[in-house]
Structure 1
Amino acid sequence: MVIRSLYLLGLALAFALPQTAHAERVRDLGAFQGVRSNQLTGYGIVVGLNGTGDDSLEYLTQAMRGVSGRVGVQLPAGVNPALKNAAAVMITADLPAFAKPGQRIDVTVSAIGKAKSLRGGSLILTPLYGADGQIYAMTQGNLAVGGLGISGADGSKLTVNVPTVGRIADGASVERAVATGFDSGDVLRWNLFQADFLTATRVRDAINQRWPGTAAIEDGVTLALRLPAGPDARGSMMAAIEMLDVSPAETPARVIVNSRTGTVVINSAVRLYPAAISHGKLTVQIDENPTVVQPAPFSRGTTAVQQDSTLSATEDGRHVALFKPGASLAKVVDALNLLGVTPSDLVAILEALKQAGALKAEMVVI
């Protein structure tokens, strides 16, 4: 057990110590502008449900009238059919870059009404629209639902996962391609996932070292690349650029605090100026031990309760931690573990260090 504890302690300190910068591929640091996926949405009807649908909701009835009209069936005016076996749904999908007509993509189907479950349902042919209002795909098929919902005659219910959301693998057929523009124009822009001038500079230098005069910085995110014309030559050069190795800049010093869960994350760039921390916890305990007092035999006394209170106060964690200049994350963790702080106490200590000017890091509360 001692060896295992020492191993875990060493492993934790290894992660806590500042890590030297390591090379990453350009494709992991950013992406070419325009070469991205596009979101598609649609409104449709799922049929074939076993009594778990939306019943006679107005928007479902209108949708069913439209669907039946497309197949030549006209519902009588003023008649609202009971639709317990159908449900109104929203369909969402991502159209990958360079997707061509005829290719298949996955879709997610979600109930928007009072449907209890989509299990066993089939989606009727539905168009999927882009942000410009154009149809980019058509979808239909049987749903795969991972959730389950059941109910008893007495009103009891049991739900496992989410039965009102399902997926159709390869359920949509692409009908229109999205122009990316990667093969047109003299300049193609490449964007970092996170703004950083030093990382942008290193990417520019790595590209220009192999292809002089190709890359220029526009801002902390964007590089302008002068690539050869033609999709074949340009695509080959883009592939080569993405595989270049670059050492990114060290991330800014940040302390991330999740106010809902109490999670505190400190990255390896956090440093401390000279500071001393004393953290204690005062505990006051009151014990009540009432005693029943009986009167003497044959006396006129009455039974009474005599109060007996015991008060005590203890103060735990009377340690003082001293940080020397430039203390690293490993020292911070060791000292705070010595103080025996909880996550909420840790947040209070870090805020106090920040106010004192000893903590050189950005505090982010999420």
Structure 2
Amino acid sequence: MKAVLRPPLSWHAARRWVPLAALLAALCTALPAQALRIKEVAAVQGVRSNQLTGYGLVVGLDGTGDQTTQMPFTTQAMSNYLQQMGISLPPEMASRLQLKNVATVIVTAQLPAFAQPGQTIDVNVSSMGNSKSLKGGTLIATPLRGADGEIYALAQGNLVVGGAGASAGGSKVQINHLSAGRIPQGAQVERAVPTPLHDGDSITLGLNASDFQTARRVAQAINARLGAGQAMALDGRTVQVRAPTLPGARVNFIADLEELQIETAAPSAKVVINARTGSVVLNQAVTLGPCAIAHGNLSITISSTPVISQPGAFSQGQTVVAQKSDIQIRQEPGNILQIPASPQLADVVRALNTLGATPQDLLAILQAIKAAGALNAELEVI
């Protein structure tokens, strides 16, 4: 057994942890395996979306655009746009432009699989300068490029900004975010992305999570429905399936294939810890071996009191302010808690709840239990 020394929390903090532990125990009780469709655990490789991005200008702002003295690329972008429209400005005049109603933005979009020219997609618009608000602005024609540098869509339209704000006399009130917006159906697809869906005499299914048991069950379900030898699990992530070569027949084949049901395997025991928020999530496969935990308390209090030294009359001295610090250290003895073996998640949560620790303290306790070999689960910190 291994003892772990951690500071306990107050009774009120421990009481706040009790409902959370009870909720975890109620929600995470072991559930029997359930049937899922193949489309819920795997996807056809090659059928994917593509990310698009572009650099553009938003005009029509009510004096909330970029401050061009600090954002010179806004002036340059506007000069380039005017030049494309046939308006050329002398360099000295272009450098003195004060464009309070213009803001430079980054436009992003997601091009779905099989998107064809003429179809529309949604775009997100985010300010890249010091614009105060994009509300009421209009995005002018902005080409959206893929990772290969080619133009796949053209975005333009009026922004929808889900926020509001007002300021006066040095006071400011703002609701939600004003420097980002969205244009529904704001981009038109100009080029289609070829997919390898109809290449070869087989398709490959990629599992959402790497698991050999799930890959085997997917192959078994396909072979049971279509005949032996139709599907083969290549590894814990991919399953190769023989498919018709005609486009229409292959589409029907994939549609029927995705509706096949499989029995999902029990997940591997895992504890996920969010070190930033202190959240701890355990799945139903987590078990706990017998162990002993020492839980103590150490508090350090530092207080400062100002001390003023006043000079005597007619001494022409100066008043001096000093700080007097008082440091107190208090340490309470820790109690050793004997935790028995816990075969179910409800028992694990109940055993950890007896420590009276908050999730923040539970992070270190779980790591120490894992290091001692008493936690039968994979520990993942995100």
What is the aligned counterpart of 2:200 among 181, 185, 189?
Answer: 185
Greater shift after overlay, 135-144 or 273-282?
A: 273-282
1:47 equivalenced with 2:59 (yes/no): yes
Q: Is the 8 A contact 1:49 1:86 kept in 2?
A: yes
Aligned-pair distance for 1:9? 9.1
3-state SS of 2:272 partner? strand
1:284–1:314 contact (8 Å) kept in structure 2: no
Cα gap change, 1:177 to 1:54, in 2 (>3 Å): same
Q: Would you say the 8 A contact 2:121–2:189 is kept in 1?
A: yes
Q: What is the rounded CA distance, in whole Å, between the counterparts of 1:8 and 1:274 in structure 2?
A: 23
**Alignment match, 2:224:** 209
Does structure 2 conserve the Cα–Cα contact (< 8 Å) formed by 1:321 and 1:335? no
* Correspondences of 1:280-319 after superposition (within 5 Å): 280-281=296-297, 318=335
Distance in 1 of aligned mates of 2:22 and 2:151 = 57
1:72 deviation in Å? Answer: 1.9
Partner of 2:339 in structure 1?
Answer: 322
* Residues paired across the two proteins, number: 335
TM-score, length-scaled by structure 2: 0.81
Local SS of the residue matching 2:92: coil
- 2:106 aligned to 90, 97, 112, which one? 90
> In 2, Cα distance between the equivalents of 1:313 and 1:96?
60
SS of the equivalent of 1:162 reads coil
Query: Is 1:123 matched up with 2:135?
Result: no
Deviation at 1:312, TM superposition (A): 9.2
Q: 2:146, 2:152 within 8 Å by CA — same for their partners in 1?
A: yes
3-state SS in 2 of match to 1:84:
coil
Please give the secondary structure, in 1, of the residue aligned with 2:276. Answer: coil
Number of the residue aligned with 1:362: 378
Q: State the secondary structure of the residue aligned to 2:91.
A: coil
Post-superposition Cα deviations, 1:299-354, rounded to whole Å, max 9, x if no partner, equal xxxxxxxxxxxx998658x4734313x52211111122223222233223222221
Structure 1 residue 355: deviation in Å? 1.8
Query: What is the DSSP-based 3-state SS (H/G/I as helix, E as strand, rest coil) of the residue aligned with 2:277?
Result: coil
- Aligned-partner Cα distance in 1 for 2:330–2:119: 75
The equivalent position to 1:31 in structure 2, one of 43, 66, 69, is 43
Measured after TM superposition, the shift of residue 264 of structure 1 is 1.1
User: 2:83 matched to 1:66?
Assistant: no
Confirm or deny: 8 A CA contact 2:202 2:244 kept in the other structure.
no
Letter in 2 for 1:322: I
Say if 2:276 is the partner of 1:260.
yes
Summarize the Cα distance change of 1:315–1:282 in structure 2 as closer, same or farther, 3 Å threshold: farther
Alpha-carbon separation, structure 2, partners of 1:246 and 1:256: 26
Which stretch of the first structure deviates more once superposed, 333-342 or 223-232? 333-342
- Who is 1:105 aligned against? 121
Which stretch has the larger CA shift, 142-151 or 41-50? 142-151
TM-aligned CA distance change 1:365 to 1:9, over 3 Å:
closer
Deviation track 1:55-75 (CA, whole Å, cap 9, x = no partner) reads 323211121122112222222
Deviations 1:222-274 (A, max 9, x none): 11121001211101111111111112222221111111211111111111223
Contiguous gaps of at least 5 residues in structure 2? 1-18, 302-328
Tell me which of 157, 161, 173 is aligned to 2:172.
157
5+ long unaligned stretches in structure 1: 1-6, 286-310
Amino acid at match of 1:164: S
Asked whether the equivalents of residues 21 and 349 of structure 2 are also in contact (C-alpha less than 8 Å), the reply is no
The one-letter amino acid of 1:95's match is L
Greater relative contact order: 1 or 2 (C-alpha under 8 angstroms, separation 6 or more)? 2
Match of 2:350 in 1: 334
Q: How has the CA–CA distance of structure 1 residues 10 and 333 changed in structure 2, closer, same or farther, with 3 Å as cutoff?
A: closer
Q: What is the CA–CA distance in structure 2 between the aligned matches of 1:92 and 1:345, rounded to whole Å?
A: 41
In structure 2, give the amino acid aligned to 1:228. Answer: P
Q: Report the CA distance shift for 1:215/1:91 in structure 2 as closer, same or farther (over 3 A).
A: same
Q: How far is the alpha carbon of 1:53 from its aligned partner?
A: 0.6
Paired residue type of 1:77: P
Aligned partners of 1:188, 1:352: CA distance in 2, in Å? 46
Residue identity opposite 1:320 in structure 2: L
